Amino acid sequence: MNRRTFMKTVSTGAIVLSLQNTACSLFKRSNERPNILWIIAEDMSPHFGYNGENAVDTPNVDKLAAEGTVFSNMYVTCTVCSPSRSALITGMYQTTIGAHNHRSSSTPESAIHLPENIKTIPEFFKDAGYFTCNASKLDWEKPGKTDYNFVYDFDKLYDGTDWKDRKPGQPFFAQIQLQGGKARKAKFDKMVDPNKIKLPPYYPNDPVILDDWSKCLNTVMKTDKEVGIIIERLQKEKALENTIIFFITDHGISHARGKQFLYDEGAKVPFIVWGPKWIKSGAVRDELTVHIDMAATSLYFAGIDIPDYMESRPLFGKNAEPREYVVSARDRCDETEDRIRSVRKGNYKYIRNFHPNRPYLQPCVYKDYKGIIKRLRELYSQGELNEYQSLIMAENRPKEELYDLSKDPFELTNLAGNPVHKKKLVELRSILEKWINKTDDKGQYLEPWVDYLANMKVANKNLLKSGNPPRKAKDRIANMELMKKWREAGK
């Protein structure tokens, strides 16, 4: 697939965008409104054929990319599922609505309520006469993953799990949640050979790491096959030609430097918009976007007014306005307290670590039981990791990180202390500070300890309920005690 620059795409797509604006106004006066389909895979970075990954075979997603528009610089607002999904379903930063701590709002004591003026995206579609549904994987009878960090009622947001239950002629807004990278233990029709994998330079060429990476790529091919099944169903039902498909993941790959961190491995995700009637074919747009922009874009194509309060922006139409910069955030993940923010502007990324005296890999049951983390710790203790592979193992972090992605795409050389880049550092630091104040970033307010304990009580209960060994719950309790100690010490 030939990659095109954003400017060329815009210049050649002016007529298409004009037609889209006209078509959207017609939707409001006709029954020909498009179906809107969100396909959301878990824990997956852009390791697809269309993006240059040669170790996988992904014909279905590649076809969507070839026939639709690819957004090559799509970032999530958070690199763990529940805050990310909370942001996407409201079109708002999770830090703005107080949904930034992973798996919060778990109990009546810690309940988070959306402001009265904020509605979820399914509610907008419902009010506009759409049938709304959310399915799990390809089990059309099972409700799909929500994981929203606020009080909600599934039945008020969704009419069901399958669009087959809609009225004749009624358009649908559907979400299909795919297991994605969480399917590492599944059986695969085709396997990726670990010996053919080229790891990022910050990971050692170790059998354990290679095996896990190959399993992640296996899940990419599994996801592609599931996308094919979905498209085939739409074709059989003669619904495909009137459906706009959005393909995205909730955040990047679950690996040491990926999920939960703000490096590109965790924050940058695949994003394709497909719909031959409305979307330019074979376009690659390189401007900076955030995953919540899928919300406003969906409303736009359905002819639904986008509320003024919404932080999401439409990516098509006369009101489409490229972002000057994008911000991503990470806060508490399970029992592990943290606060990290990043700003990407142009080719530079700025990262602010608000807990620089803590290790990158803080104690966390979710990560510490992974074979890859155990292996990295072993290799580090044996002195087998090089300078770049040891970065994630550091016992403390720089307060600020700055990377020139045009020269350093793997974010290995921190330029924050380099006088040559001081002007850029000051600029991006200022952008972040202004953004925090403008949006009233809720991460700046410490989560009440009583809420933390309430949420962790539910988390531990779910651990044991899901068949995990009791030692995981004990380790989490020990980690909680450490978090309290660090908090009290201001660490």
What's the rounded mean pLDDT across residues 9-14? 33
Task: Answer whether residue 229 is part of any domain.
Answer: yes
Closest C-alpha to 366, from 330, 333, 331, 332: 333
Do 208 and 79 reside in the same domain of the chain? Answer: yes
Whether 338 and 312 share a structural domain: no
* pLDDT reported for residue 14: 33
- pLDDT for 130-153, tens place per residue? 999 999 989 999 999 999 999 999
* Higher local confidence (pLDDT), 196 or 274: 274
Residue 484 covered by a domain: no
pLDDT digits (tens, 9 = 90+) for 18-52: 334 434 444 443 358 999 999 999 999 999 999 99
User: Could you tell me the pLDDT band of residue 231, with boundaries at 50, 70 and 90?
Assistant: very high
Res 187 pLDDT > 90 = no
Read off the pLDDT of residues 386-396 as tens digits, 9 standing for 90 and up.
Answer: 999 999 999 99
pLDDT in the model for residue 31: 53
Q: Would 464 be classed as within a structural domain?
A: no
Residues 191 and 70 in one domain: yes
Residue 451's H or E segment, with its range, is helix 449-465
Residue type, 251: H
Mean pLDDT computed over 193-212:
94
| Predicted local distance difference test score (pLDDT) of residue 323 | 98
Task: Please check whether residues 141 and 208 belong to one and the same domain.
Answer: yes
What is the band of 12 on the pLDDT scale with cuts at 50, 70, 90? very low
CATH classification at residue 46? 3.40.720.10
Contact 463, 472 (CB under 8 A): yes
Q: Do residues 312 and 389 both lie within one domain?
A: no
Note whether 40 and 95 are same-domain residues. yes
* CA dist., res. 96 & res. 151, Å (int): 16
Look up the domain containing 65 and give its range. 6-319
* 210 and 314 together in one domain: yes
Per-residue model confidence (pLDDT) at position 101 = 98
User: Is the pLDDT at 16 greater than 90, yes or no?
Assistant: no
Tokens of 90: 């409201």
- 481 contact partners, CB below 8 Å, separation of at least 6: none
pLDDT band (50, 70, 90) for residue 1 = very low
Identify whether 348 is part of a domain: yes
Q: Are residues 227 and 362 in the same domain?
A: no
Please identify, among 257, 284, 319, the residue that sits at the C-terminal boundary of a domain.
319
Same domain, 315 and 338: no
Q: 219 with 346, same domain?
A: no
Tokens found for residue 104: 């919060």
**343: in domain:** yes
Q: Is the pLDDT of residue 6 over 80?
A: no
Q: b/e for 234-251, b at 16 or more Cβ within 10 A?
A: beeeeebeebbbbbbbbb
Instruction: Give the pLDDT confidence of 264-282 residue by residue, as tens digits.
Output: 999 999 999 999 999 999 9
3-state secondary structure of 363: coil
Q: What is the mean pLDDT of residues 369-382?
A: 98
Domain membership flag for residue 90:
yes
Residue 476 lies in a domain: no
Same domain assignment for residues 69 and 208: yes
CA distance 476 to 365: 6
**Among 319, 351, 382, where does a domain finish?**
319
Number of domains forming the structure of the chain: 2
End-of-domain residue from the set 433, 449, 465: 449
Residue 479 belongs to a domain: no
Under 8 Å CB-to-CB from 375, ≥6 apart: which residues? Answer: 206, 208, 209
d(CA 158, CA 164): 13
364 and 285 housed in the same domain: no
Average pLDDT rounded to a whole number, residues 151-156: 96
Q: CATH number for the domain including 376?
A: 3.30.1120.10
Residue 36 CB partners (closer than 8 Å, separation 6+): 125, 130, 171, 172, 173, 174, 243, 244, 246, 298, 301, 302
